[in-house]
């Protein structure tokens, strides 16, 4: 969703705000704004577009204020216009505020405030916050008390940062359902929606919990309850492109590395076990579960679909994948023998959080598979596993998806060895998992060829992706990446067996089909699907196992992946599809790091 930064301390705030907000543009980039303050003057700028277009002019102002807030927007309520960009202010232009989230009852509150004489200048829900605080500040001496009273009126979720000209030595922040961190340093504080904005300045952070308000001054900070200080493990180099033209390309080429990180220290070859320390506290309960529900949104859900095949085939646990946004609206059957596994890169996905809360209300064990330490999902689930994928700045998930699949494979062994999985099978899966980083590197060596394929296929405007069994979710993921990154093209992921039940009517020489057909238990079925496509003059780009010459005779183009266990093929087959989408987006002249209308973390329903 939107990105927030803030600073109070001894240095000029503007350069810190600009640098931090640039690192948060993946959360939203249709407009931005800054407000900085000192004892005698202020700086205010709101613009439509990207920060980089205005960075030089902002910094040339050399404004000396040591207190400020910034915001990069992903529009929800109100169009993409300068007046709807943040910060927003009150009638007297004394209170300035930035907000990530959504106020569900803003129309009702706005009507009441207008009746009280307040004048609104934007179409956003956020502006209600500023006027509510103004109203309560009439009877309060302290900004934080006015903020507290205003929050009592709000229905929805929020992370906010508030400053006031009447109190230029104070920054007030609060959260409910949207991420917000406080960074601590000597005589200065940073606030942000994401660690990426502050890791250049501090590694010491406090994660605000829901319904908490923090008051920051250069001298100290106050939170309504004592909070533990944590450490950010990401490195500043992860927020840099390191020679790549785009973060997305860098992150795809990091996929072998994230597999290595996901399995490091988690494999016990001798006993054929996966060591997942984050699950040890729930180990006894996991031995007794009778059913697993996996939930997530978008790419995370597709990872869960691969996990469903893994869990049922090898761990012998009945498993179902649920769309997180629909989960609590369909009265799901949950009990103490059911475990809910929530998958989210950010750990802040609003729909997935609500699914967790629903499962907890009904007595189910909840597990999280997230990338960010200290995120809401990490804190609200009973136990879990971290991706260790590092910072992912490209809006479209790539390396985090590969990491999720790798951990789901480890989790399969973890659960399977508690049931019927033999020592021999446990060892075999783990040995094959251990080979994956080297196999992934071999695929990336074909990047120049895949780039040529993207150039060749860039003239087409419709694609179908086909896969079966373990690679059906990869067909969905491949088509989603193409839609996200090369958004001028429509793509659809379909189960290979379903092509003849309707979608085949679409096929002709102008409608390419990407077929994922490794040498596995459904290879013959996929070969038949390819023949059906070719018989309708369709063009076929096939992903097949090394050594397969048969498909090369059928398909127009072939990309090879190394041989591995069937359950692990998705980890390899998705890599060329990620590259294909990235290169095709570049060929169309699109910004593959920041696709239109998308944001990295969706923290509102």
Q: What is the pLDDT of residue 238?
A: 59
Give the pLDDT confidence of 147-181 residue by residue, as tens digits. Answer: 999 999 998 889 999 999 988 889 999 998 888 99
More confident of the two residues 503 and 214: 214
Q: How confident is the model at residue 600 (pLDDT cuts 50, 70, 90)?
A: low
**DSSP character at residue 152:** T
**Distance (Å, rounded) from C-alpha 95 to C-alpha 330?**
42
Please say whether the beta carbons of 294 and 322 come within 8 A: yes
- For residue 54, pLDDT beyond 80: yes
What is the pLDDT, as a whole number, of residue 601? Answer: 53
Which of 589, 570, 590, 576 minimizes the C-alpha distance to 253? 576
Residue 98: enclosing H or E segment and its boundaries? strand 95-103
pTM across the whole model: 0.71
Catalytic annotation on 119?
no
User: Out of 22, 110, 481, 600, which one is annotated catalytic?
Assistant: 600
**Residue in 2, 297, 495, 515 annotated catalytic:** 2
Query: Which residue bears the tokens 């399995």?
Result: 263
Sequence-distant (≥ 6) Cβ neighbours of residue 23 within 8 angstroms: 194, 196, 197, 239, 393
Domains and CATH numbers, the chain: 3-232 (3.60.20.10), 242-441 (3.40.50.10490), 446-605 (3.40.50.10490)
pLDDT > 80? residue 359: yes
Please report which confidence band the pLDDT of residue 23 belongs to, taking 50, 70 and 90 as the band edges: confident
Contacts of 349 (CB under 8 A, 6+ apart): 296, 297, 300, 324, 377, 601, 602, 603
Question: Burial code of 317-345, b = ≥16 C-beta within 10 A, e = fewer?
Answer: bebbbbbbbebbeeebebeeebbbbbbbb
pLDDT at 575: 97
Residue closest to 36 by CA, chosen among 79, 70, 82, 80: 70
Q: Give 209-222 as a 3 state SS string.
A: CCCEEEEECCCCEE
The yes-or-no verdict on residue 110 having pLDDT over 90 is yes
First to last CA, the chain: 11
Alpha helix (H) residue ranges in 518-605: 523-535, 550-554, 569-587
């Amino acid at each position: 969703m939107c990105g927030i930064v803030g600073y109070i301390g001894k240095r000029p705030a503007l350069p810190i705000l600009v640098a931090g907000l640039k690192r948060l543009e993946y959360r939203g980039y249709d407009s931005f704004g800054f407000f900085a303050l000192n004892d005698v003057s202020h700086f205010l700028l709101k613009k439509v577009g990207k920060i980089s277009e205005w960075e030089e002019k902002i910094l040339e102002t050399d404004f000396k204020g040591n207190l400020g807030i910034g915001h990069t927007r992903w529009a929800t309520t109100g169009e993409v216009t300068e007046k709807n960009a943040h910060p927003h202010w009150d009638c007297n232009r004394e209170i300035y505020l930035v907000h990530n989230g959504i106020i569900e009852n803003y129309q009702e509150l706005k009507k009441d405030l207008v009746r009280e004489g307040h004048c609104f200048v934007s179409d956003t829900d956020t502006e209600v916050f500023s006027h509510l605080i103004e109203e309560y500040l009439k009877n309060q001496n302290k900004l934080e008390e006015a903020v507290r009273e205003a929050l009592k009126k709000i229905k929805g979720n929020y992370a906010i940062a508030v400053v006031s000209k009447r109190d230029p030595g104070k920054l007030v922040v609060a959260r409910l359902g949207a991420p917000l961190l406080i960074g601590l340093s000597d005589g200065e504080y940073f606030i942000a929606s994401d660690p990426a904005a502050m890791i250049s300045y501090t590694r010491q952070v406090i994660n605000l919990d829901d319904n908490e308000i923090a008051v920051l001054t250069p001298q100290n900070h106050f939170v309504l309850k004592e909070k533990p200080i944590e450490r950010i493990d990401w490195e500043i180099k992860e927020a840099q492109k390191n020679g790549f033209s785009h973060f997305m390309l860098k992150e795809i080429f990091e996929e072998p590395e994230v597999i290595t990180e996901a399995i490091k220290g988690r494999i016990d070859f001798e006993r054929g076990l996966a060591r997942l320390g984050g699950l040890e506290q729930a180990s006894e309960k996991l031995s007794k579960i009778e059913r697993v529900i996996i939930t997530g949104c978008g790419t995370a859900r597709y990872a869960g679909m691969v996990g469903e095949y893994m869990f049922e085939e090898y761990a012998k646990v009945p498993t179902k994948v649920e769309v997180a946004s629909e989960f609590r609206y369909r009265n799901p059957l949950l009990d103490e023998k059911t475990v809910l596994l929530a998958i989210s890169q950010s750990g802040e996905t609003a729909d997935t959080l609500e699914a967790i809360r629903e499962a907890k209300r009904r007595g189910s064990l909840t597990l999280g598979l997230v990338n960010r330490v200290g995120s809401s999902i990490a804190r609200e689930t009973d136990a879990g596993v971290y991706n260790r994928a590092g910072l992912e700045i490209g809006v479209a998930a790539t390396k985090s998806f590969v990491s999720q699949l790798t951990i789901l494979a480890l989790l399969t062994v973890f659960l399977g060895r508690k049931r019927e999985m033999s020592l021999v099978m446990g060892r075999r899966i783990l040995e094959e998992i251990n080979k994956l980083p080297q196999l992934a590197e071999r695929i990336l060596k074909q990047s120049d060829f895949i780039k040529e394929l993207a150039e060749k296929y860039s003239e087409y405007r419709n694609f179908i992706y086909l896969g079966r069994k373990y690679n059906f979710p990869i067909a969905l993921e491949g088509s989603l990446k193409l839609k996200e990154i090369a958004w001028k093209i429509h793509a659809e992921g379909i189960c290979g067996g379903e092509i003849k039940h309707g979608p085949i009517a679409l096929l002709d020489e102008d409608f390419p089909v990407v077929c994922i057909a490794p040498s596995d238990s459904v290879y013959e079925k996929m070969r038949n699907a390819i023949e059906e496509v070719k018989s309708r003059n369709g063009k076929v780009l096939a992903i097949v196992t090394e050594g397969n010459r048969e498909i090369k005779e059928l398909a127009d183009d072939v990309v090879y992946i190394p041989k591995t266990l069937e359950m692990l093929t998705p980890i390899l087959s998705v890599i060329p599809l990620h590259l294909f989408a990235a290169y095709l987006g570049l060929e169309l002249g699109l910004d593959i790091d920041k696709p239109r209308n998308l944001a990295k973390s969706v923290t509102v329903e």
